[in-house]
Amino acid sequence: MSVWTTVKQWFQTPLRYKRAVQSVAALWLGALLGGVLAFATQTILARVLGVAEFGSFSAALASVTLVAPLAGFGLGGFWLDVFGKEGWVALRWLPGSFRFSAISTALTVLVLWIWAWIGPHERRTAYLLLVLTVHVFGQLALELTSAKFQLEGRHLRLAVLQTSAHVLRFAGVLLLLIIAGQEAFSAEVAALTYAAVALLISFVGGYELVTMARGRLLLEGHDSASLTNTPDTTERPGAFRVASLAWPFGLAGVLYLIYYQSDLVLLRYFVNESAVGFYNAAVVVMTAIYLFPSALYQKFLLPRLHRWAYHDAVKLQMVYSVGNFSMVVVGSVILIVLWLLAPFVLPWFFGREYIDAVPLVRILALGLPLFFLASSSGAVLVTRHHIRVKVGIMALTALFNVILNLFLIPAYGASGAAVATVLSYGLLSMLYVHNSRRVIQSLCGSDGGEQ
């Protein structure tokens, strides 16, 4: 097919499909740019601060990042589900949602403050923890505002929002380094930079959430006329009811961190820092590839999957079938390309000293079709009440991954960690496909009605 024929077909494609492709491309490019800038920022800090100071900053930031999801625990995912089910009527959940976010955020900050004062660390780490507490507000604003933009179908704004934090941190660190110089730059300065960015994101996100609380929401896929027909007597659930329904979405994110990060932690304690460095270089390459199915399913399609699960089971089944097949094909193609190009790509990006990471990339690449399939099939399990099934599968996979790492890392080092990751993706995709197929059959059998 000639280039001209391809261009003609593109312009003949219905506008909604062009916009869909553009939206997915924007989300993927934004996520990719954010990942690159995050990596660059950490690299600069590691070089400038030195091992000791960078260790203090990284430990404090990791502590805050680990606890931050407790603020508004799963609220963003819950919004996507409840608005997909109820449409404009779901505005009734917002007062309780905001109360829940306020209570959970206050408790999260309190836990961090207590840990800063009583934890077994030096005064510098305590100070860094206190400063970086602002990061909690930024992460909460980012999560909830992202959910709002997803509900509205404003994917370009979503991409800009999620990239902006990485851009601002990179620019802030670079600017202060130029102004103050390397001698005056410290872990405290880095923490203040991160806190300033989090504060700015909080203000921007706060404005969007205030407009949402006032009913100014461009809800995609639902008739705006139904907003005026919503009765004033509609029940408005409280914070406790919101928490009882939102927690599985929050727990899913925590479990993902476990089987995504546990190998790096165990490599540090069972092998050495060099093994972590090689393995992390391989993970950076894979993460850039993982961004594509994540952008497609977690950012672009997820609000629609929630809506179709309640109102259009036939379309959900079609997207599920086509998605599974397409993801396996795309993952397999990237596997072949990455297997061939890894010896050239890694030294070009990271330097010749990272040539030992090539075998690790090739092992991890074997899991690409499995990861892509898990992304498509697992997305169905987020809809309706099936999130608890997904959480159970993720918990089992996390346990499986940790056990494999405990056996394989001491014997085979970083290669063992890579094998454990691939096998974990195999288990994950198998369980997702089995359970999501049952969900699809159940929904189609009931014509998409309420179960």
CA distances from 240 to 74, 87, 213, 343 (A): 13, 22, 18, 53
Q: Which two tokens stand for residue 199?
A: 């504060």
Measured between alpha carbons, how far is 349 from 285 in angstroms, rounded to an integer? 10
CA neighbor of 209 nearest in space, from 265, 161, 270: 161
The amino acid present at 53, given as its one-letter code, is E
Token look-up 């934004």 returns 30
Instruction: Give 13's DSSP letter.
Output: S
Measured between alpha carbons, how far is 146 from 76 in angstroms, rounded to an integer? 8
Please report the pLDDT score of residue 70 as a whole number: 87
Please count the other Cβ atoms lying within 10 Å of the Cβ belonging to residue 15: 7
Evaluate whether 408 touches 348 at the Cβ level (below 8 Å): no
Judged by average pLDDT, the poorest of 111-120, 222-231, 241-250, 271-280 is: 222-231
Measured between alpha carbons, how far is 40 from 54 in angstroms, rounded to an integer? 14
What does the pLDDT average to over 206-229?
Answer: 73
Instruction: Give 237's DSSP letter.
Output: -
Which pTM was predicted? Answer: 0.70
Torsional class of 185: left (φ above 0), alpha (ψ -120 to 50), beta (otherwise): beta
What does the pLDDT average to over 325-348?
Answer: 90
Q: Is the model more confident about 31 or about 435?
A: 435
Q: Which of 67-76, 83-92, 95-104, 142-151 has the highest mean pLDDT?
A: 95-104
pLDDT tens-digit profile of 5-38? 544 444 455 555 556 666 666 666 777 787 778 7
What does the pLDDT average to over 220-247?
Answer: 70
Please report the pLDDT score of residue 350 as a whole number: 65
